[in-house]
Amino acid sequence: MPYHPEIGLIERLAIKWGFLPDTRQQAAEDDYRTRREDGTLVNFPPVEKWEEWVEYDPQAWPKKPVPRHYALVPTICFNCEAACGLLAYIDKGTQTIRKFEGNPLHPGSRGRNCAKGPATINQVTDPERILYPLKRQGPRGSGQWERVTWDHVLDDIGGCIRKAIQEGRQNEIMYHVGRPGHERYMDRVLQAWGVDGHNSHTNICSSGARMGYQIWQGYDRPSPDHANARFILLLSAHLEAGHYFNPHAQRIIDGKMAGAKIAVLDPRLSNTASMADYWLPTQPGSEAAVLLAMAKIILDENLYDRAFLRRWVNWEAYLKADWPDLEPTFNNFISALKQVYAEFTPEFAARESGVDTALIVEVARQAGRAGSRLATHNWRGAGSGNLGGWQVARALHLLNVLTGSVGTQGGTSPNAWNKFQPQFWENPPAQKFWNELSFPLEYPFGCYEMSFLLPHFLKEGRGKLDVYFTRVYNPVWTNPDGFTWMEVLRDESKVGLHIALTPTWSETAFFADYVLPTGHSPERHDLQSQETHAGVWLSFRQPVLREYLRRQGKEVEFTHQANPGEVWEEDEFWIELSWRIDPDGSLGIRRHFESPYRPGEKLKIEEYYRWIFENAVPGLPEKAAEEGLSPLEYMRRYGAFQIPRDTYRRHERHLSPQELAGSETDPQTGTISKDGKAIGVMIDGVTVEGFASPSRKQEFYSSTLVAWGWPEYRLPGYIKSHVHPENLDVAKGEMVLVPTFRLPTLIHTRSGNAKWLNEISHRNPVWLHTSDACRLGVQTGDLLRVTTNIGYFVNHVWVTESIKPGVVACSHHLGRWRRQQDQGSRWSTGVVNIEEDNGRWRLRQVQGLSPFPSTDPDSSRIWWSDSGVHQNLTFPVHPDPISGMHCWHQKVKVEKAHSEDRYGDVIVDTAQSHAIYKEWLAKTRPAPGPAGLRRPLWFTRPVRPAPEMFFVNNSTPES
Ligand code: SF4
């Protein structure tokens, strides 16, 4: 049936008089429109039309419709970790990318994106982006650059790395990644070089939560099944900004539409809290107390899952260790549990948190009654803000354990069950180095590298870096204590050659020796798989213009030949660099970068992905064959694949006879081991896979923490935060600063060159409760001075009821800057003067945003002048002694600005920041642990070294 759009009288008259074109007939005749045969609307261009898709040019309106012909090429968004699918609309006339919309075939994002997805086009077309490799001229940080060739870059860096390897200085080579991606690609590169050089941003992001999950079950992340939950308990803001937030937000709303209730613990009325059924505005750091009170209610009211607890918790080990005189029966375990948590009454939790007792009880009952359909999530926020934040995640997971909602439909699974990891045709050997600049002895449990302590380690002379890559990483701006980073980065005796791999200028790239333009999301290859829901998927990032040219029969050798300027992709860069490091193969590096299809010849990037798709993705070859495609062609065309795999109750999977062959079963614990590694557990006479902990059970009792000298933390518990009210002097105006929340429309430093996003969000005022505003005598828009332990910043105040009294909050997504001598990102950076006097630093804004001429007419239309305030500079490092997480929350003094203060001022004393680093370092209990280990062998570790490297003397006890 043809489609006849309804139009109003005025529109009909306008058409009649020729003011508007009559598109009705065109619409009816046009088979390219997003309509089915019966005229009903569809959400996305049908996939069979992706090769030839026509839309009318909206910019031609109100003239006669101008059809634009597009090829739609899938890729992946890179603006946060969720890895949502994108479709690039490539204009066949101009052979350029016109826009990005969602990829409906992507199983995680299902065609939907947040504002940052479509804004990828801003990043691609940014007239200020870096288009050519640049080399420093003059002193480091002086802002003088010259264009060089990729050949020059590869020879120079390759020569430095080769020399370091030949001289046994492998630990002086470091690759420091901000936004990862590359499922295992870089692990492979670094292991091929034989270096322990991986460093990441994780300890300023999620290590607190990771430790809490790791110690329970050996998996360091949760994967909640929100869509099928009965109750959703969040210590996060997932409807607007949490980890994997767009895919999670969709499923949270799916669950809500199906009747699930939502509770949110957050001192701030986030968008998520505002949509919840229950908002618990907790005092920052009190969350574990509230969760343990909920656990007590679930126990006292018999809402727990006896069968799950009996089968899957290591309660026998707990009774044996802590209650040796008790008969080891399950009932005695429950009695012991009730005793342990007796002190966590709802009244106690209410006193700690400031949340109503009745509300805590109500939410606890709802969580308990949800049974196996309790979905929970805790990521940054409480887990990353507080000393002992890892116990928040551990206490939250206790609720899943009590309710038997681990690995269930509607419950919360280990992340690894919903994530795909690629395999390769050959694997370089594990490196025989352990880099103590990343994994120092003081932090044996540090979930990831102690990345934010690197400048302090360098200052102390623990080592130096000869070749230091920062990849889409901006520690000067993102990390705490950025001035200490500046001090170290400008010191060539500490950092020899700094290479910034980045699509755009950043505060860190200003202090590089090479700035190498690497591609935005649609300008490179990559694999991504994230645990966004109960399912496993793999998606394929591809350089869309290169793929478009290939479809036209115009193959290019390197991606930079298809990208703007000479923007390259890392994948090819690392292959070429590895060949320059080892041109004759004598170092044994080159062979890892040879083709699996053409022995001895250099690996081509399509061969790398082709091999994985053909050999390592279950079900993909068969699915592709159904359509007459090769696996690589399938991924190039559709961009994503849902991997068929059962994702629920994997711990109950029976071990096969092959798996059991040669294994041993511990008669006491039932743990099944093979080759010295636990592979399963015998439960009720059945051999099953279990979890990834040493006991293969949920470890309520951690013998690991006991063995490593932390017996007081052997059970899920409550650690009073460094910002606990006992540590504040309220009479002196001290408050808690929550600096961790994301804005939905920005993402750390990666969105700085997205003009649409900066137009929407360009200020980060300090949230202050009305009662505190009254006390201080300030109103919205007034200037506040916020003083931390090492300095202060000056910002506007936003007076609101949406924050807990006594707490202030400020988003970290703003405050980008450049100095007079720097280039870059005038969409988002103000100009600043930075002065230093013997470790006393002052940053002062001298010019806000203003219009500028460029090839993009919008740059002359910038109407906002605010670029926000850079608060992270004023934070000392706060490494949690267990998880290694930087504890972001700050004890601050909040007052009216002084007469000399100006908006955006930042004052810092880096000698004081180093002293505070030492204070926190003294909280640790360093390795070696049992048997001389640096770290528990069963803990995960990125880019895992050879087993003997886990021992302080670099050899296993047997060897
Ligand atoms: S949630 Fe938004 S920023 Fe993150 S990957 Fe998806 S579209 Fe991109």
Provide the β-strand partners of residue 56: 67
pLDDT tens digits, one per residue of 863-917: 999 999 999 999 999 999 999 999 999 999 999 999 999 999 999 999 999 999 9
Q: Which two tokens stand for residue 561?
A: 């030949």
Substitution site in 75, 76, 80, 101 for ligand 1 pocket (most atoms within 8 Å of beta carbon) = 80
CA 737 to chain centre: 22
- Does 746 contact ligand 1 (Cβ within 6 A)? no
CA 733 to chain centre: 34
> For strand 766-769 and strand 783-787, is the pairing parallel, antiparallel, or unpaired?
unpaired
Distance CA 264, CA 273 (A): 5
Q: Could you write out the DSSP letters of every residue in 339-398?
A: HHTTT--HHHHHHHH---HHHHHHHHHHHHHHGGGEEEEE-SHHHHHSTTTHHHHHHHHH
Q: Residue type for 835, please? A: E
79 lines ligand 1 (CB under 6 A): yes
724 in ligand 1 pocket by Cβ < 6 Å? no
How far, in Å, CA of 665 to CA of 679, rounded?
Answer: 10
Beta bridge partner(s), residue 539:
528, 640
d(CA 893, CA 736) in angstroms, rounded, equals 9
Please indicate whether residue 391, judged by its CB atom, sits closer than 6 Å to ligand 1.
Answer: no
Q: Is 751 in the pocket of ligand 1 (CB under 6 A)?
A: no
CB within 8 Å of 868: residues ≥ 6 apart: 762, 763, 764, 813, 814, 815, 816
116 Cα–ligand 1 center, Å: 6
Using CA positions, which residue lies closest to atom 6 of ligand 1?
A: 84
What the block records as the tokens of 656 is: 């096969």
Compute the distance from residue 83 Cα to the ligand 1 centre, in Å: 6
Ligand 1 in reach of 82 Cβ (< 6 A): yes
| Under 8 Å between Cβ of 207 and 884 | yes
The two beta strands, 783-787 and 791-800, are: antiparallel
How is residue 459 annotated by DSSP? H
Mutate which of 114, 521, 751 to test ligand 1's pocket (most atoms within 8 Å of Cβ)? 114
Question: Which of 109, 123, 533, 541 has most ligand 1 atoms within 8 Å of its beta carbon, as the pocket-test mutant?
Answer: 109
Quick one: pLDDT at residue 43? 82
DSSP H/E element including 570: helix 570-581
* Segments of the chain scoring below 70 in pLDDT: 1-7, 14-16, 18-40, 956-959
Cβ(389)–Cβ(209) below 8 Å: yes
Distance (Å, rounded) from C-alpha 273 to C-alpha 280?
8
pLDDT of residue 910: 98
pLDDT of residue 710: 98
Residue 904 vs residues 815, 850, 875, 889, 891: alpha-carbon distances, Å? 8, 16, 15, 20, 20
Dist CA 383 CA 221 (whole Å): 12
Identify the H or E element spanning 353: helix 346-353
Phi, psi of 849 (to 5 degrees): -70, 150
CA of 537 to the centre of ligand 1 (A): 16
Closest residue by Cα to atom 4, ligand 1, is 80
Question: For position 6, what pLDDT does the model report?
Answer: 58
SS3 state of residue 821: coil
Strand 412-414 with 222-224, pairing: antiparallel
Atom of ligand 1 lying closest to residue 109 CA: 6
The overall longest dimension of the chain from CA atoms, in Å, is 95
- DSSP symbols for 516-549: E-B--GGGS-EEE----SSSEEEEEE--HHHHHH
Burial class (CB in 10 A: 0-12, 13-18, 19+), 93: exposed
**484 by DSSP, 3-state: which?**
helix
Q: Give the separation between CA 412 and CA 420, rounded to whole angstroms.
A: 18
CB 295 within 8 A of CB 368: no
